[in-house]
Structure 1
Amino acid sequence: MTSDRIGAGAGAASAKRGSRTRVLPRALRRPVRFIQRLVSGDVSVPPRTETMLFGAVIGGAILYGSVLGGQFGQAVEQTTAAMGFAVEEIELSGNTYTPVDDVFAALGLDGRRSLVSIEPAAARSALTDLPWIASARIAKVYPSKLVVEVGERSPFAVWQTGEALSVIEQDGAVIGGYAAHPRLAALPLLVGKGAAETGAGFVATVQQYPIVADRVRAHIRVGQRRWDLRLDNGITVRLPETGVERALERLVTMQDELDVFGRDLAAIDMRLEDRTLFALTGNALEARQALIEARDAAREQARRGNRI
């Protein structure tokens, strides 16, 4: 019984030790065995192997440091450019409002550039970061040609808030600041807070009446509730909050019958359904006042003459 117990105890201890034994993964077993044989002297090392290994380690460290410092990329850039892969020809299309210099700067083409080092995905991202460019396609034609096709956003109007002028799309999204350009000069001008978001529908309504639309120079949003029209001769047409189409039809009729756009008026107030109010310019008001005074003087003189 004693021996059985002793045996049992030894077996338990052996089991404990076995449970603590660590087994290397299969992928590491062969390298570890080789190192053990190398250390024990079972494997003979060829001459200069240590020097080669040391050089490989140092070279790897230098290469790693160069990559981190950006020097490796510069070396590749210069080497491949010198080998005949420098960008010599650029075919650019689709840019109407984006300056060529902005495209070149975004692509890093303001200096000598290797075609090999240009990453199309990074180049597309850099181009679409420009205000006007919505999409871009990059193609490398070896040994030295780069093809760039861009798709620009569609301008709808110029939006003025205070003294700031911005070019906007039809949904009111701002493209960028306004810059002098023949095509942009012909865009509708929207003025005031809320004009960008609601301008497309209003401009479309006004364009249904060409006799009015051809004279409009600015669409002015008033109190984010209604619109005024500023004509090319300075007349302001005040439109109602609702029933804009009916007001414009009345305005067209008055223009046909009375040539109101040719009168010396400061404003035409269409906000009331049953009447139209006219505001005279300062000069017209003075002239009218002088006419009234002259008429009254003539009547007074005629009255006195009748008494005599």
Structure 2
Amino acid sequence: MQPLIRRAKTPRADPAPSRWAWRLQRLMLTPGFRFGLRFGVPFVIVFAGASIYLSDDARRQVILDTVAEARRAIEERPEFMVQVMAIDGASTETGEDIREILPIDFPVSSFDLDLEHIRRTVSGLDPVKEASVRIRPGGILHIEVTPRVPVAIWRQPDGLTLIDETGAHVSGLARRSLRPDLPLVAGDGADKAVAEALTLVEAAAPLGSRLRGVVRVGLRRWDLVLDRNQRVLLPEEGAVSALERVIALENAQDLLTRDVARVDMRLAQRPTVKMNEAATQEWWRIRQIEMNGQ
């Protein structure tokens, strides 16, 4: 009888994954890694292929030419072409100036027009207060202009200038007689205080045609200039009230009708009157006669 021989048991395989397999499985469950496999790898492959293809200058130029030709074909379609320019709200001279500073060669594609640049250029003209630019159906470049309205004439050493209510330059003026309807202002800083000047001109309305203009003095106050070289020196504060007092004296005592050269109202408590040279000499002559007679 042969002895019983026992065979050694074969060890069973460990069902648990190895450390590296476990780490790989964990990595595959990571959203970022899965996103990279799904999108990142294809992107890298495509990018690398495109880079290799476009590394050749000839191929790259062909692509650029094709894109440029396609774009030009779209931009130059009839519905995108601008044929004429229309200007509304501007005078004839301003319209000519606008066309001169905008040398646009029509027809032109609307894609080649910088409307904001055109608006800024037109708004930069002195007679233009505001401007709007748009392309209307039918291929019309429409420019709507809000002009500056002159309210006064500013006399400067180099000539006359029309200014609006803000003091902005509107245009030059050859002669005062061309705009007799507008008041005359003069002096440094007069354009910055047009509102005050207009208020004084309105208050001086009872003087009628005797008013020649108002002069800004020292950037802080005004002188009223009348015919016969008469001046009314107004204070820095309360100029309108001081002028109304002078007009009241004129109505009551004919103050400005007399041989007065200057009425100084700068000191409200002590207004002074200066006679002109002829009246002063006559006063001295009469004074001497009276003294000799005594």
> Scaled by the length of structure 1, what TM-score is found?
0.60
Could you tell me which residue of structure 1 aligns to residue 108 of structure 2? 114
Could you tell me which residue of structure 2 aligns to residue 133 of structure 1? 129
- 1:176 aligned partner, one-letter code: H
Could you tell me which residue of structure 1 aligns to residue 90 of structure 2? 95
The answer to whether the aligner puts 1:176 opposite 2:169 as a matched pair is: yes
Q: Assess, with a 3 A threshold, how the Cα gap between structure 1 residues 157 and 281 changes in structure 2: closer, same or farther.
A: same
CA deviations on 1:111-169 (whole Å, 9 max, x unpaired) are 444264445454334323334231324343525x5443211234444556776876554
Structure 2: stretches of 5+ with no match in the other structure: 1-10
Could you tell me which residue of structure 1 aligns to residue 6 of structure 2? none
Q: Percent identity?
A: 21
| C-alpha contact (below 8 Å) 1:218/1:229 kept by paired residues | yes
**Is the partner of 2:108 in helix, strand or coil?**
coil
CA deviations on 1:190-215 (whole Å, 9 max, x unpaired) are 5334x445441453254134123643
Could you tell me which residue of structure 1 aligns to residue 262 of structure 2? 267
The answer to whether the aligner puts 1:61 opposite 2:64 as a matched pair is: yes
- 1:236 aligned partner, one-letter code: R
- 1:114 aligned partner, one-letter code: V
Query: Who wins on radius of gyration, i.e. which is larger?
Result: 2
Could you tell me which residue of structure 1 aligns to residue 21 of structure 2? 11
The answer to whether the aligner puts 1:296 opposite 2:288 as a matched pair is: yes
For 2:272 and 2:282, the matched residues in 1 are separated by 21
CA deviations on 1:241-290 (whole Å, 9 max, x unpaired) are 444444333322333355444444331223344664332344x26xx426
| C-alpha contact (below 8 Å) 1:124/1:138 kept by paired residues | no
Aligned-residue offset at 1:187 = 4.3
- 1:99 aligned partner, one-letter code: T
The answer to whether the aligner puts 1:230 opposite 2:225 as a matched pair is: yes
Superposed CA RMSD in Å reads 5.0
For 1:279 and 1:30, the matched residues in 2 are separated by 94
Could you tell me which residue of structure 2 aligns to residue 306 of structure 1? none
For 1:31 and 1:273, the matched residues in 2 are separated by 88
Q: Assess, with a 3 A threshold, how the Cα gap between structure 1 residues 102 and 28 changes in structure 2: closer, same or farther.
A: farther
Structure 1: stretches of 5+ with no match in the other structure: 37-49, 304-308
- Number of residues of Structure 1 aligned to a counterpart in Structure 2: 268
